[in-house]
Amino acid sequence: MAEVSWGLATSHVPSIGAAMDHGQTGQPHWKPLFDGYAPAREWMAAHPPDVAVVIYNDHANAIGLDLVPTFAIGTAESYPVADEGWGRRPVPDVDGAPELSEHLVTELVDAGFDIATCHRLDVDHGLTVPLSVYCPDPGDAWPCAVVPLLVNVIQYPQPTAARCYALGRALGRAIRSFPPALKVAVFGTGGMSHQLAGSRAGLINTPFDRMFLDAIEHDPQRLAALSREDYIRQAGTEGIELIMWLVMRGALSPGVKRIHETYHVPASNTAAGLALFEDLG
Amino acid sequence: MTRARDDYPLDLAAVRRGYRLNRLCGSLADAANRRRFAEDEAAYCDAYGLTPAQKTAILTRDWIAMLDLGGSIFYTYKLAMVDKLSMQHLGGVFTGMTVEEFTAVMRSGGRKLG
């Protein structure tokens, strides 16, 4: 049977990808962030998964405003890297894991989650930047296959944090009921506090982010109990992306070991966080 | 259900209001569309059925008016990229700062707002 081996929470800021793509990771502005990633990358490289389930949101690239699924899973054999308007990132296209996708869709629908399916999906920085956080130099191919799991965090009303945590619990059960003996990593992406538009642009709420980084390990129920208004008020309109970390945490066992964390302000206009957990089963 | 208290939540009313403007901005992810837009911005706006106010906001790069007219930052940012303007530039516009001032505030830890 498949197992959930570890979970990674990480921001998916476009400029983090651009800094890697343009060889700027050693510059003074970026070095502290990438130095902060190093211990997590070293541990992950020593524990490579067969498949990564990446929970992320599209940013007006594959999902327009015509159809906005609350939850969706990619079911394709491969996913092209999106051109978001400034040329596609120079990283490999993403290999899918269609049999696992099919299993997850079936199990999650049976569990009461109404999942949309995407058979054609250009993946944007929301998915590729976390893959680069895991693997900075993929060469011609990423080191693992990927199942994209999309969450609407852009259009109001977003799903509640509680629903995301419950989806994660069901996702973990679904992964563990997949017969092949695969090692699966789960990525929760996006966040932390940030707001891009309006008079609160530039908002950073470090106390909230620190609380979240701690509670995602010890007390995810506390985070699941917050309303979407709580997230938007405290973490900003885009800080609500943090609800995707709860899908990841729900998929892990209650017992986890924190391998590493880092927190950096700013990456672009954003507080960038990373937390890596080993699943203790 | 309560509503989020913020300047520009992309709720369904904003989606209705800004649908055509956002659709235009989203189209600029395509290089051929960027060329067509550059050749005749006004005609491009007309082809997307923008209201006169939306058209003026696009042509004059009034970033705040775009938001007032239903624009989503994830779409209007694609127009900003056509102009080679950063998210820090837009942050400055939204908060009444120069891009240098806004960037300095971010580098010193961001804006502490409730």
Question: Is the Cβ pair A204, B72 closer than 8 Å?
Answer: no
Helix (H, G, I), strand (E, B) or coil at B86: coil
Percent of chain A with pLDDT over 70: 100
- Of A85, A157, A265, nearest to B78 by CB-CB distance is A85
What confidence score (pLDDT) does residue B9 get? 86
Report the sign of the C-alpha dihedral through residues B23, B24, B28, B31, in that order: positive
Interface test with A, best of B35, B73, B78, B79 (most A CBs within 10 A): B73
A104, A106, A107, A110: CA torsion to nearest 10: 150
pLDDT of residue B5: 57
Q: Give the pLDDT of residue B75.
A: 97
pLDDT along chain B (114 residues), means of 10: 66 96 96 96 98 98 96 96 96 96 95 78
Q: Is A125 noted as a catalytic residue in this protein?
A: yes
The answer to whether the CB atoms of A60 and B22 lie below 8 A apart is: yes
Query: Beta strand A78-79 with A94-95: parallel, antiparallel or unpaired?
Result: antiparallel
Evaluate whether A96 touches A74 at the Cβ level (below 8 Å). yes
Q: What's the complex ipTM?
A: 0.93
Strands (E), A90-202: 94-95, 116-118, 145-151, 183-189
B23 to A85: CB separation less than 8 angstroms, yes or no: no
Task: Inform me whether the C-beta atom of residue B98 falls under 8 Å from chain A C-beta atoms.
Answer: no
**Quick one: tokens of A152?**
């609407």
**Residue pair B41/B59 in contact by the 8 Å Cβ criterion:** yes
Chain A residues bordering chain B (beta-carbon distance below 8 Å): 29, 59-61, 64-65, 82-86, 154-157, 193, 195-206, 227-229, 232-233, 237, 265-266, 268-269, 271
pLDDT at residue B113 in the model = 77
Degrees to nearest 5, angle at CA A211 with A52 and A153 = 50
Q: Would you give per-residue pLDDT tens digits along chain A (281 residues)?
A: 999 999 999 999 999 999 999 999 999 989 999 999 999 999 999 999 999 999 999 999 999 999 999 999 999 999 999 999 888 999 999 999 999 999 999 999 999 999 999 999 999 999 999 999 999 999 999 999 999 999 999 999 999 999 999 999 999 999 999 999 999 999 999 999 999 999 999 999 999 999 999 999 999 999 999 999 999 999 999 999 999 999 999 999 999 999 999 999 999 999 999 999 999 98
Rounded Cα–Cα distance for residues A53 and A265 (Å): 27
Backbone CA torsion sign across A227, A229, A231, A237: positive
pTM of the complete model: 0.96
SS3 A144: coil
Contact A269 B10 (CB under 8 A): no
Whole-number Å distance between alpha carbons of A222 and A73: 27
**What does the pLDDT look like over A119-150, one tens digit per residue?**
999 999 999 999 999 999 999 999 999 999 99
Q: Is any Cβ of chain A less than 8 angstroms from the Cβ of B100?
A: no
Pure H helices in A8-120: 14-21, 31-46, 98-110
Of B9, B28, B112, the CB nearest to A232: B9
Contact A200, A236 (CB under 8 A): yes
Question: Pairing mode, if any, of strands A145-151 and A270-279?
Answer: unpaired
